[in-house]
């Protein structure tokens, strides 16, 4: 027995399957109203097991009855516990989504960074602008490292901020570098620098001793 293949039926068949549709078609042909109601309730119980994710939604029992009504071609005549709706919205085409037409100038930073820079240019307080530059610089450095898997210097980050802001945002580069302002963890950066210095110290002393011995 072949079921009708309207758009609404085909949409729901993907969830409940062909056998459920065949049962719906059988129920609609039962002449006794009480029997149709009894069979419909049994089928609703089956549909709830086939589509368990509906249980997490509000009024899922009513949705099941509406699904049953739709699969019957809006012709099911039973004593349902809820008012049956044809759910015409199932036939509505999905609304088109708006996609951004503009691509960011720096893909490794993304469009959100450009928006942050734009918001920072609107700040009038000098301290707030500097704090915004530092926060954006930290974020840009992190994003660059995760995108390119390599380090980047503070002067490049600051230059990108100037370019994105069209020269409206700027800070003293020497002040940024001396205080590690663009580092997410400046203490760790400082300890790494001290450790590198300590590791290089004995090598330099050893090389100096060797040179002194050669001079003798």
Is position 198 within any domain?
no
Is position 66 within any domain?
yes
Is position 175 within any domain?
yes
Any idea which of 51-60, 120-129, 204-213 has the lowest mean pLDDT?
204-213
Rg of the chain over CA atoms, in angstroms? Answer: 35
pLDDT value at residue 188: 47
Instruction: State which of 40, 71, 91 marks the end of a domain.
Output: 91
Q: How far is CA 170 from CA 131, 158, 160, in A?
A: 11, 7, 10
Enter the pTM of the model. Answer: 0.44
Return the percent helix, strand and coil in the chain, to nearest 5: 65, 0, 35
Residue pair 55/48 in contact (Cβ under 8 Å)? The answer is yes
DSSP-derived letter for residue 93 is P
- Each residue's pLDDT tens digit, 151-192: 889 999 999 999 999 999 999 999 999 999 998 764 544 544
Residue 148: which pLDDT band, with cuts at 50, 70 and 90? confident
C-alpha torsion sign, points 7, 12, 18, 19: negative
- Using CB atoms within 10 Å of the CB of residue 109, give its burial: 0 to 12 exposed, 13 to 18 middle, 19+ buried: buried
- Its domain, for residue 178, covers 101-185
Residues above pLDDT 90, as percent of the chain? 36
* Structural domain count, the chain: 2
DSSP-derived letter for residue 180 is T
Residue 85: which pLDDT band, with cuts at 50, 70 and 90? confident
Segment holding 203, helix H or strand E: helix 186-215
């Amino acid at each position: 027995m072949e079921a009708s293949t309207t758009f609404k039926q085909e949409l729901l068949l993907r969830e409940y399957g062909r056998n459920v549709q065949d049962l719906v078609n059988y129920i609609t042909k039962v002449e006794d109203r009480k029997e149709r109601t009894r069979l419909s309730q049994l089928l609703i119980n089956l549909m709830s097991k086939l589509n368990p994710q509906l249980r997490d939604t509000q009024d899922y029992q009513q949705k099941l009855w509406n699904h049953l009504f739709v699969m019957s071609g809006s012709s099911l005549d039973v004593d349902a516990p809820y008012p049956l709706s044809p759910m015409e919205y199932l036939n509505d085409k999905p609304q088109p989504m708006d996609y951004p037409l503009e691509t960011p100038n720096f893909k490794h930073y993304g469009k959100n960074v450009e928006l942050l820079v734009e918001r920072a240019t609107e700040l009038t307080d000098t301290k707030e602008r500097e704090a915004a530059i530092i926060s954006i610089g930290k974020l840009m450095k992190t994003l660059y490292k995760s995108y390119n898997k390599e380090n980047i210097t503070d002067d490049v980050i600051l230059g990108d901020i100037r370019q994105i802001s069209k020269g409206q945002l700027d800070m003293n580069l020497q002040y940024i570098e001396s205080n590690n302002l663009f580092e997410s963890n400046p203490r760790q950066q400082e300890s790494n620098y001290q450790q590198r210095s300590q590791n290089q110290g004995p090598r330099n002393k050893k090389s100096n001793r060797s040179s002194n011995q050669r001079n003798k």
